């Protein structure tokens, strides 16, 4: 019935009515999308915005021994991490770890991503899934796996000793070496995912064309494949870098207390020393480091045109 009546009703409408009707639908639409958005926005306000804002405010308070917090508004808390050589060391170590893990992770992920991007196998989907599935496994479990492999009685040391290649076990855990190896593997799926998505303009046809025009394999790679995959590689590096400088579980477990990075320092200050303003100031420094890197990245991608 409504279907039949609509055209007649429409004919009778004047321009003014039309405008009013439009406004009414707009208002109803507005009410609908606000109602749909509101629960989610409130949820994020409580679980995300408030904690972050409170943390930033806390960094301007002053911490006293035994967890006493002096409510004030000062930059004093920032003076120690920015002047004390120990915290410079920690920040630099964190930065260095991010760069090392980023570069190594890109190096080991690139061949896999290249293989997956080019593959025409019917198992391609499965192979992609296997490469990124570890993303959904627990970081604690994967780090534990690396402790089993790298530990004093672990797979590597037992094998090398069994083969008579070494007398004393190599020190692969409780130091930066172990943390780096673990992190490279843990972030590989992220890097592969970022690369496959970033390889948009890379096509086997282009490589074939270069080859048929007489370019050597090496030249095809350096002049065609590599330049075209550069945006993907850069995105992957950046992603791994930011993940690495903020990661906590792996430095804590594989570092065994002897690797101090910003994340472990934040934890120690929070739960051990109860110096909350100080932990908050370190977190703000970590966030600023994040912001800087992302700004640099956006500059770079503009230059490359990716």
Partner 1 sequence: MSDVRIFKPRFNPAKPAFGLLVFLLYLFLLAPLLIVCVVSFASNQYLSFPPEGLTLKWYEMLPQESTFMEGMKVSLIVAVIVTLIVLALGVPAALALDRFDFKAKAAVQSFFLSPLLIPSIVLALGMVLLFGPLGLTNTYAGIIIGHVAITIPFVIRTTLMSLATTDTSCEAAARVLGADSWTVFRRVTLPIIQPGVIAGGVIAFIVSFDEAVISLFVAESGLPTLPVQVLRYVENSADAAVAALSVILILISLAVVVVVERVMGLRKALR
Binders of partner 1 in range 249-268 (CB under 8 A):
249, 252-253, 263, 266-267
> For the chain, how long is the longest CA-to-CA vector?
97
Using a 10 angstrom Cβ sphere, with 0-12 exposed, 13-18 middle and 19 or more buried, the burial of residue 116 is buried
Contact (CB, 8 A) for 244 and 98:
yes
Among 27, 208, 216, 223, binds partner 1 (CB under 8 A): 208
Instruction: Report the site for partner 1 in 34-63 (rule: CB under 8 A).
Output: 34-37, 39-41, 43-44, 46-48, 50-55, 58
* Residue recorded with tokens 């409504």: 2
Taking the least distance from each CB to partner 1, the nearer of 131 and 202 is: 131
Choose the binding region for partner 1 from 11-19, 76-84, 94-102, 142-150 (rule: CB under 8 A).
142-150
Among 185, 233, 235, 237, binds partner 1 (CB under 8 A): 185
Q: Is the dihedral of CA 156, 157, 160, 166 positive or negative?
A: positive
Q: Is 293 in the site for partner 1 (CB under 8 A)?
A: no
| 3-class SS of residue 222 | helix
DSSP code at position 1: -
Taking the least distance from each CB to partner 1, the nearer of 85 and 214 is: 214
Q: What is the nearest approach in angstroms of partner 1 to the Cβ of residue 248?
A: 5
**What residues pair up with 69 in beta bridges, in sequence order?**
63
How far CA 25 is from CA of 16, 34, 297, in Å, comes to 14, 14, 43
Q: Is 219 in the site for partner 1 (CB under 8 A)?
A: no
Instruction: Report the site for partner 1 in 160-179 (rule: CB under 8 A).
Output: 162
Q: Is 153 in the site for partner 1 (CB under 8 A)?
A: yes
How far CA 69 is from CA of 72, 251, 271, in Å, comes to 9, 29, 14
How far CA 95 is from CA of 239, 240, 264, 280, 293, in Å, comes to 14, 12, 14, 19, 11
Q: Is 225 in the site for partner 1 (CB under 8 A)?
A: no
Instruction: Report the site for partner 1 in 70-99 (rule: CB under 8 A).
Output: none
Q: What is the nearest approach in angstroms of partner 1 to the Cβ of residue 196?
A: 7
Q: What is the nearest approach in angstroms of partner 1 to the Cβ of residue 205?
A: 6
Taking the least distance from each CB to partner 1, the nearer of 147 and 273 is: 147
Choose the binding region for partner 1 from 16-24, 72-80, 225-233, 282-290 (rule: CB under 8 A).
282-290
Taking the least distance from each CB to partner 1, the nearer of 14 and 205 is: 205
Choose the binding region for partner 1 from 8-16, 25-33, 73-81, 225-233 (rule: CB under 8 A).
25-33
Q: Is 108 in the site for partner 1 (CB under 8 A)?
A: yes
What is the helix (H) or strand (E) element at residue 70, kind and residue range?
A: strand 68-70
Contact (CB, 8 A) for 269 and 278:
yes
* Residue recorded with tokens 């806390």: 58
């Amino acid at each position: 019935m409504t279907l039949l009546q609509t055209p007649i009703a429409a004919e009778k409408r004047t321009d003014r009515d039309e405008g009013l009707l439009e406004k009414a639908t707009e208002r109803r639409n507005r009410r609908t999308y606000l109602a749909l958005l509101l629960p989610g926005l409130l949820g994020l306000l409580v679980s995300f915005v408030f904690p972050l804002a409170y943390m930033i405010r806390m960094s301007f308070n002053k911490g006293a021994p035994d967890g006493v917090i002096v409510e004030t508004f000062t930059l004093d808390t920032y003076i120690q991490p920015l002047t004390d050589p120990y915290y410079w060391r920690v920040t630099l170590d964190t930065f260095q770890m991010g760069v090392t893990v980023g570069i190594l992770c890109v190096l080991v992920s690139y061949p896999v991503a290249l293989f997956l991007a080019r593959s025409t196998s019917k198992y391609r989907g499965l192979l992609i899934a296997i490469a990124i599935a570890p993303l959904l496994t627990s970081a604690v479990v994967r780090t534990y796996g690396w402790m089993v492999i790298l530990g004093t009685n672990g797979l590597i040391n037992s094998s090398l000793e069994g083969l008579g290649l070494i007398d004393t076990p190599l020190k692969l855990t409780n130091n930066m070496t172990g943390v780096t190896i673990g992190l490279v593997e843990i972030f590989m799926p992220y890097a592969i995912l970022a690369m496959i998505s970033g390889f948009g303009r890379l096509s086997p046809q282009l490589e074939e064309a270069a080859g048929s025009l007489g370019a050597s394999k090496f030249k095809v790679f350096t002049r065609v494949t590599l330049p075209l995959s550069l945006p993907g590689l850069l995105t992957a590096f950046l992603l791994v870098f930011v993940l690495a400088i903020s990661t906590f579980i792996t430095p804590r477990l594989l570092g065994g207390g002897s690797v101090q990075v910003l994340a472990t320092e934040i934890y120690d200050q929070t739960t051990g020393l109860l110096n909350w303003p100080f932990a908050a100031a370190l977190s703000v420094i970590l966030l600023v480091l994040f912001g800087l890197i992302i700004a640099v990245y956006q500059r770079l991608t503009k230059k490359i045109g990716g």
